[in-house]
Every structure is written in structure tokens, then in C-alpha cells.
Amino acid sequence: MEFGLVQMWNQMGMLAKGVAILLFFLSIVSIYLFIERQLVYAKARNKSKKIAPVLAGMLKRGQIQEALKLSSKKENKGSHLARVTAAGIKEFLEGEEHKLSLEEQVETARRGCERASVIFTQELKRGLNTIATIATSSPFIGLFGTIAGIINAFRGMAETQSGGIGAVSQGIAEALLTTAFGIGVAIIALWCYNFLSTRVEVYAAEMSNTASEITDFFIRKAESEG
């Protein structure tokens, strides 16, 4: 009996083949989401690197309206720093229109930054729950295939009326293959999830810092006008 992958596939039962196909599909989903999220994160990083210094310069010069217009442009929506900046400035100006005190304007700006940060963080996390589910469920799916392989091994023993290795080798190989496949898919998904989660934490920290800087800017503005 040969134990090449093709030979093993041909000798696997339908249930084990179904498990293997499902695991392969889950691995493709994990890799797809990983690549898709990486593209989203790269877009946010690149846009923010370009726009952040410009916005900082505008705020230092007191060009609040210009900074709001720039950070609110459609092409800058993918920038996490532009999104937070636009939210903070918008809330500050709306507070000014409603005749709020400077302290209240600063507080509304801070809350606006926080809301924008939370919303964008959730957007960055899109798909991560799916990857986490794949990481936790793949070993159990593989175990289901393992059980199918063991059943086939006992069936081989019953058909041959023998307990020799030849009678059970097919079922045992099938069981080990699905187990290894399930663990492999789980490792890939877990690595993807941890890597992406770390990136999200970095962006969340950057948005928090930006929100703090915007709040400090408005505080200084309030003190200078007071």
C-alpha cells in the first residue's frame, strides 16, 4: 500500500474527504482575510503618513476650518488619523455654534475623537472574529475527521477479519491526515489573528495619541482666548 497524498486521498472515505475540503476552504478564508486586512491597514498607514504632518501644521497655524476640510475629504476617509482629527474639529466647531463654553467645546471635541477612534477600530477589526473562529474550531473539525478514520480502521479489521497493520493502515493514515490538516489550519489562522490584532492595537494607540494632541490643542486655544 502506498502512502502518497494522491493515494491517500483516493482511499479516504467521503466523510474524511468532506472534512479535508472544509479545512482547505477555511484555510483559504483565513489567508484571504489576512491579505485583505493587510491592504486596509497599509492604506490607513500610507494616507496617515501623508496627511498627519499637514494637519498638524494647519492646527499650529490656527487653520481649523482648513484642517477640517482636508481631513474630511473622501480620499482621506481611509486614514485613521484624519478620521479622528475631523471628528474632533467638527465637534469643537459645532459646540462653538451652539454657544457652548470653551471648556465644554473641548470636552465635546474629546468625546468626538473617542467615538471616531472606537468606530474606526471596529472597522479595522472586521473579519478578525472569523479568523479567530477558524483558529479555535479547525482542530475540532480535524478531530471529526480523525474519528471517521478510526471508524474506517475498525471497518477494515472487520472486513478482513484481521488485526494486522495492513487492515487498519488506511483508516489510521486517514485519521492522522485530517488531524494534521486541522492543526495546520488552526496554526495559520491563529498566527494571522495575532498578527492582525497587534496591528489594530498599534493603530488604536496612534488614534488615542492623535485625540490627545487635538484635545491639548483646543485646551491651549481656550486658555489663550481666556
44-71 confidence digits (pLDDT tens): 999 999 988 898 888 888 888 898 899 8
Instruction: Output b/e per residue, 95-130; b: 16+ Cβ within 10 A.
Output: beeeeeebeebbbbbbebbbebbeebbeebeebbee
Most confident of 3-12, 25-34, 95-104, 204-213: 25-34
Q: How far apart are CA 71 and CA 51, in angstroms?
A: 8
CA-to-CA distance for 113 and 198, rounded, in angstroms?
21
- Pairwise CA distance, residues 134 & 120, whole Å: 24
CA distance 88 to 19: 50
Which runs of consecutive H residues, i.e. helices, occur in the chain? 5-11, 14-60, 64-71, 80-97, 102-124, 128-160, 165-225
- Across residues 74-100, what is the average pLDDT? 87
pLDDT at residue 113, rounded to an integer: 92
Rounded to the nearest 10°, the torsion over CA 108, 111, 113, 115 is -130
What is the spatial distance between Cα 38 and Cα 189, in angstroms, rounded to a whole number?
14
Which phi and psi (to 5°) does residue 61 adopt?
-85, 0
- Band of pLDDT at residue 170, cut at 50, 70 and 90: low
User: What integer is the mean pLDDT of 12-29?
Assistant: 86
How far apart CA 132 and CA 181 sit, in angstroms, is 17
**What whole-number percentage of the chain has pLDDT above 90?**
40
**64/80 Cα distance (integer angstroms):** 18
Q: Which pTM value belongs to this model?
A: 0.81
Q: Are 150 and 168 in contact (CB under 8 A)?
A: no
pLDDT of residue 25: 95
What dihedral angle (degrees, nearest 10) is formed by the CA atoms of 201, 191, 78, 29? -140
The answer to whether the CB of 55 falls within 8 A of the CB of 180 is no
* Whether pLDDT at 18 is above 50: yes
- Whole-number Å distance between alpha carbons of 46 and 120: 16
